[in-house]
């Protein structure tokens, strides 16, 4: 069985970011916020900052489907913003820790289709 590899354009590959503010005053709200974060991790997201998570997607269509899943998970009174970046735009992100610049997480080297 041979495997084929498909090289996708940096203008088609997407990164999806979920940024949120969730109420955490009551114990019930804290549990919902924790569940929301765990749900994002279960969807394959990685934490960038405490209320900012991102994930690599092979296409805009897949990113939009993922955004719909996130919409269904939003706790009552929560505010969630979804941002979409092409891979080319993502490459331009600058991230600073203290006074030094650090590189963003690298994308997977190639997409493997079966």
What fold characterizes domain 8-93?
Answer: Alpha-Beta Plaits (3.30.70)
Cα R_g (the chain), whole angstroms:
16
pLDDT of residue 50: 93
29, 19 contact by CB (below 8 A):
no
Structure-token pair, residue 107: 């994308």
25 Rama class: left (phi>0) / alpha (psi -120 to 50) / beta: alpha
Question: Residue 68 in 3-state DSSP?
Answer: helix
Rounded to two decimals, the pTM is 0.77
13's tokens:
């590959």
Instruction: Give the model's confidence band at 55: pLDDT under 50 very low, under 70 low, under 90 confident, else very high.
Output: very high
Which of 18-22, 29-33, 74-78, 90-94 shows the lowest mean pLDDT across its residues?
A: 90-94
Average of per-residue pLDDT across 75-95: 93
Domain ranges in the chain are 8-93
- Angstrom distance (rounded) from CA 48 to CA 46: 6
> DSSP letter at 84?
E
């Amino acid at each position: 069985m041979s495997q084929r590899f498909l090289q996708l354009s940096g203008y088609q590959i997407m990164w999806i970011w979920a940024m949120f503010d969730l109420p955490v005053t009551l114990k019930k709200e804290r549990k919902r916020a924790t569940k929301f974060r765990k749900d994002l991790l279960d969807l394959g997201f990685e934490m960038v900052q405490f209320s900012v998570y991102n994930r690599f997607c092979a296409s805009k269509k897949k990113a939009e489907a993922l955004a719909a899943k996130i919409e269904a998970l939003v706790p009552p009174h929560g505010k969630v913003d979804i941002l979409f970046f092409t891979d080319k735009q993502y490459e331009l992100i600058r991230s600073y820790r203290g006074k030094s610049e650090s590189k963003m997480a690298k994308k997977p080297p190639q997409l493997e289709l079966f």
